Amino acid sequence: MARLGLAFHEDFIRHDAGPDHPERAERILAILEQIRQASWINEVEFVEPRLATQEEVALVHDKRYVEAMRRLCDAGGQYLPLMGAAVGPASYPAALRAVGAGLTLADGVMSGRWCMGFGLVRPPGHHAVYARPWGCCIFNNVAVLAKYLLTRHGLSRIGILDFDVHHGNGTEQAFWTDSRVLFCSIHQESCFPSDSGDWHDIGEGEGADFTINIPLPPKTTDRAFIDTLDRYADHAFRDFKPEFMLASAGFDGHWRDLQGGLNLTGQVYGEIAKRLRQWAEIAAEGRLIVMLEGGYDAAGNREGVSAFGDELMKGQV
């Protein structure tokens, strides 16, 4: 049995966010190249992700929005100010397959085919909200995945760590009143979106205290990042005992990445991976799926993914 299922498809390269846009195919090709050179590559099974159905996407999104996006892309697409990027004919199938990557990996991990999964996808998803795209994201890949695990696989406690440099506002919105999902976003304060992700944003109703936001000041270093994550998230995930652990993985906190202002090195991503693995081992039998979000500097992506993958695979038997 392969230890890691890696979901990748050429559709993710075909999506075009616009001329000179930082969310471009080269960023995931750099990650793919790094993974192919990893010492643990023989323990990886590459899998073709399926297309999610509109009904599956609608676990999180308005059906009217999903259909409107299909029609827009089929008609040739356009630049969308809310998204800060363009969509075209290749964008809708890429977005469906990005969602489908998580669902494909979920079925494989739950069946015992793999211990863990990694979705090397684009467009990213964690900014997309109920009825609109936002911040380069069309559909919220990790949020649909969490809802799928709750509904299709009957789980009752899902943990999500979002470590992109930007706040995971769309995922937060999806589970704002849901006590079945413990969502934690550690991000640069007031970066994007500038008006979300504050400390006091903790959820409402049944979901109160099941959202954790950890905003960090610019220039935060590795040690400060990990110390803060341990202080505010470690005990929460341990007490919650997730039955499945998910991660929205952004490598744009790296010091080389111009889309953020943190001062992280690749080493911090190994420390993040170690904690994800530990949280997944508490009550989830190691079940973990990582979905790619941001990361816009090729060298920063390679360094971050190398440290992250080395640590993640180290812990498996």
Please list the active-site residues: 127
In 3-state terms, what secondary structure has residue 115? coil
Which helix (H) or strand (E) segment holds residue 239: the answer is: helix 235-240
What whole-number distance in Å separates Cα of residue 262 and Cα of residue 278? 25
What whole-number distance in Å separates Cα of residue 315 and Cα of residue 289? 15
What whole-number distance in Å separates Cα of residue 125 and Cα of residue 146? 13
What whole-number distance in Å separates Cα of residue 101 and Cα of residue 70? 18
CA 58 centroid distance within chain: 18
What whole-number distance in Å separates Cα of residue 244 and Cα of residue 106? 10
272 closest CA partner among 229, 232, 240, 315: 229
In 3-state terms, what secondary structure has residue 64? helix
Alpha helices in 15-155 (DSSP H): 25-36, 54-57, 63-74, 91-111, 141-151
Q: Return the bridge partners of 244, or none.
A: 158
Phi-psi region of 201 (alpha: psi -120 to 50; beta: other; left: phi over 0): beta
How many other CB atoms are there within 10 angstroms of residue 48's CB atom? Answer: 13
122 closest CA partner among 90, 89, 147, 162: 90
